[in-house]
Structure 1
C-alpha cells in the first residue's frame, strides 16, 4: 500500500473517530459512569478515543506535510507525482484540515451540522502551526472531565488495592496518579487564592474596626475636654484670676509675663473683636505659641512651665467666650511645620525654643486641626448679653493690668 492510500485510510478513520467522540460527548453524563448499567458512553471510553485521535493526528501531520511538499515540487527533475495525483493529495490535505483539525478546534460542533456545511475554498494553512493541546476545546473538555472522574474514583476506592503485579496495570496506575495530582494541584491553587482573598478581607475588617474604635475614643476625649473646661471655669470671674494663676504658674516672673500677654489679647477683644486673628485662635499659629505655648508641647518627661501656662490661657479663653473647635481637614503638628520651614524656632514661655520641646499626641491629629473660636453675643439681637460679655472682658483686662 502506497503512502497516499495509507494516509487516506488514516484520515477516514480519524473522521469516524471524531464523529464517535462528538456524539459520545453529547450523550455523556457524570451520573452514568457504569457502562453495564447504561447505554451512555463512559468518560474512560471517551478519553481513550480522544487520546487515540490526538496521537493519530500528531502522527499524520508530518506525513501529510511531507507528501504535500512532494506534490508541490516545481523542479521537473524532482517531481514524482502527475497532475491528477497532485490534485488528490491537495484534496486529502484540505479534507484533513477541515474535517479533522477543523472539527477538533471548532467548539460545539456536531456531526449533523458538519454534513450540512458548505465548504469554502480557502488556502491550506501550515500544518506545523497546529497545536491540539491548546486549540481544541473538545480535547481540553475531555481531559477536564476525565480528571474530575479520577478524583471521584480516587475518593471512593482504596488506591493501594489497585496496584497489581502486572506491569501494564502499574503503568496505568502511574498515569492516572499523575492526572489526579495535576487536578489536585489546580484545586489547591484555586483554594490558596480564595484563602488569601478571605484573609485580606479579614485584615481589612480588623483595620476598619480599629479605625472605628479610634474615632470613638477621640469623640469621647472631646466630650471630656469640654466637660473639664466647664468645670474649671464654673463661676469664674475677675476675682478667680489671681488664685488660678498661683495654682497653674508658680514662677512670679512668668505670672507677670502671662498677665502682660493677656492684657494685649483682652485689649484687642475690646477694640477689634471682628479681626480674624482675634476671633480664631489657632494652636499652630506661631504668634499664639510664642505667647501662650501649645497644649501638646512639653520639655522632657516631667514637663515644663509651658503646660501650666497654656492651661491657664485656655481657662481664660473659655471664660472670655472662646470655644474649642475642630476643623474637617487634617493638619500637621508644630514639629513637622518646623521641619518644613513653616515655623521659626521661636522661644516658648518656659524660655526654651520650639525644637527643644516634645510633641505629645492628644488624639485629634489624624482627623483635624484644633483651634478656638470666639462666640461673641450678637449686639443687635441680644444687647444685654453683649454688654455683660463686654464688661467681663474689660474687667479681665483691668485685673491683668494690675498683675503686670
Structure 2
C-alpha cells in the first residue's frame, strides 16, 4: 500500500546530530578509525554506586509499572534537589520522564497550539525546532552568534521578537551547542519580557552541573518566574546516564496536571528500577560529578589552545561540553568533508540555526582530541 503521511511529520527533519553519528558508525563498520566529536554523550561510565542501586532495585522486584508521574521517593528527592537550588517545587509539581527530551516534548505539546509562536535563541538545540513544529507552532529566532553567543547584548533583539502573541520562549543555559552560561542580567531581561507579555518559558537546565567557573542561576528562581517557568532537567549528562533514560519537568501544578495526560497516554511511566537508581545519583555522586567536570574543563582548555595554534580564536565555553567553531559558510559541506576526508565527526552549525560554524563535543579523551585536530589540519580543514 501507499501510506499517506501527516502534515505534522512532514514538518520535521531527522536529528542532524544522530545523522552524523550514524554516518560515523557506518564508516567505522567499514574499518575506518573515526574520531567522533559529534555525540552529546559523556564518555564516562555511570557511577558504580548508581549501577548497583539499579541492580538492587531489580533484585528487590522494582520491575513493574510505577505511578505515572514517578515514584514518590524520587519526586521527593528531585524536589529536595531543586529546593537546594532556590526553587520551590513540591513533589506534586514534578513529572519524572524517560529522559529530559520526553519532558520537553510533553511541555511543547501542552503549551503550544497550531499557529502559535515559539521563540528560540540561536544557536538552539536541534530538537526544539522539531518539537515546536510537531506541536504546530511557528518559530521566531534570535541569533546570538554576532554577540559571541551571549544573550545579554541581544536582549534588544529578543524584545523585538517577543510579543503578546508568543506562547513559549525556550532558554537553555548552559547552552547546547554553544556552552554559554547566561548572565543574571540576561536572565532578568528574559524575566522582564516574559512578565510583560505573559509568556511561558522553558528553562532547559540539563547541563547545570557541568560548568567551569560559572554559577548558573535557575530561571525560575527570579521574582515573577516561578508561576510561568517549566524547569527541565535530567540524569543523562551530569551523571553519565544517557542510556538509562531518566529526566523530569517541574512546573506549576496546573501545567503538571495537563502534561500528565499526555504522559500517561504515551510512555506510561519512567522505568521503575531506573527511578530508584536516580535517587542514588542525586544523593551520592558528588565526587563523580566533580571528577568528570574537571576532565571536561581540561579538554576544553586543550581545544582552545589547539585552535589558537592554528590561528583560530574560539570562545571558551562556560558550561556543557560543546564548542562552536567558525568554519566555511557552507558548514554542511565542511562537516561532511571533515568526516569523509579526515574521519572526524562534527555537527554543522546550521542544524542549530547558526550557519558558518561546526559544533564539536569534547566528550572524548585528550589523546583523541589531539588526533582530531591533527587530522583536520593535515586535510586543510583548519
Query: TM-score under structure 2 normalisation?
Result: 0.21
Higher helix share: 1
User: What TM-score, normalized by structure 1, do the two folds share?
Assistant: 0.20
Which structure has the larger Rg?
Answer: 1
Higher strand share: 2
